Amino acid sequence: MIDVLIKNIIRFVFLILLQVGLINNIELSIFMSPMLIVLFIILLPIETPKWLLLFSAFLLGLIVDIFMNSLGILAFSSVLVAYLRPFYLIITAPRDGYEKGNVLGIKDYGWSWYLRYALALTLILHFFYFLLIGFGQENFLVVLWQTIISSFVTLLLITVHQLFVIKK
C-alpha cells in the first residue's frame, strides 16, 4: 500500500519535471504541445479514493500551469479528466470486473483496452486545454487539429512508457 503511494508520488514529481523541463522546451509547431502529465491520472490505481483523484489532478494541472503561464486552464482540464475517469472505467469494465491491486496497464488488461482507455483520457484533456487556451479568437478546426495531433504524440510517449513496464 505504502509502496504504491510512494511510487505514485515519484511518478507525480517525475512527470512534472519531464513536462516543464523537457517537453515544454521542445517547440516544433502550434499543433504540438503534448501533455504527458495525463499519464499520472491514467496510471492512478483503481482503488484511489475519489477525492484524492480529484485533488491530485488539480495540483498536477496547477503546478504545470504556473510553468506555462496558463493559470487554471490545465487544472480545469485535468480535474475534468479525473472526474470522468471512474465513469469510463465502469463503462469499459472487463467481464469479471477490476481486480484490486491490478495496474491499469497493458500487462493486466491488454494492448487494445489500455490504448483505448489512454486515448479517451488524453483526448479529453487536450481538447479542453486547447479550447480554453484559444478561447474567443480561435477557429474550432484549429482546436480540433491541435487536440488530435498533440494527443497522438502523447499516446506515442505513453506507449513507449508501457514498453519499459512490460520489459520489467
Partner 1 sequence: MKAFIKFIIKYHFTLIFLLLQFISFLLIVSFNTNPKMAFWSTANTVAGSFNQSISEINKYFSLEKENKKLVKENIYLRKKLIKNYKKNKVVSKEIKDTVLYTQRYSLISARVIQASLYKENNFITIDKGSKQGVKEGDGVISSEGVVGVVRLVSKHYAVVLPLINKSFSLSCQLKKTHYLGSLIWSTTDYNKSSLLNIPSHISIVEGDTLLTTGYSLIFPTGEYVGTISSFSQKEGESFYDITVDLGVDFRSLSYVYVVNDLLKPELDTLYMKIND
Q: How far is the CB of 111 from partner 1 (least distance, A)?
A: 30
Shortest distance in whole angstroms from residue 112 CB to partner 1: 28
Closer by beta carbon to partner 1, 126 or else 162:
126
If the CB atoms of residues 24 and 102 are measured against partner 1, the closer one turns out to be: 24
Residue ranges binding partner 1 (CB under 8 A): 20-21, 24-25, 27-30, 32-33, 50-51, 54-55, 58, 61-62, 65-73, 75-76, 79-80, 83, 86, 132-134, 137-138
Q: Smallest distance from the beta carbon of 66 to partner 1, in angstroms?
A: 5
CB of 32 to partner 1, least distance (A): 7
User: Quick one: 69 or 112, whose CB is closer to partner 1?
Assistant: 69
Query: Is the Cβ of residue 54 or residue 119 nearer to partner 1 in the bound state?
Result: 54
The phi-psi region of residue 104 (left if phi > 0; otherwise alpha if psi is between -120 and 50; otherwise beta) is beta
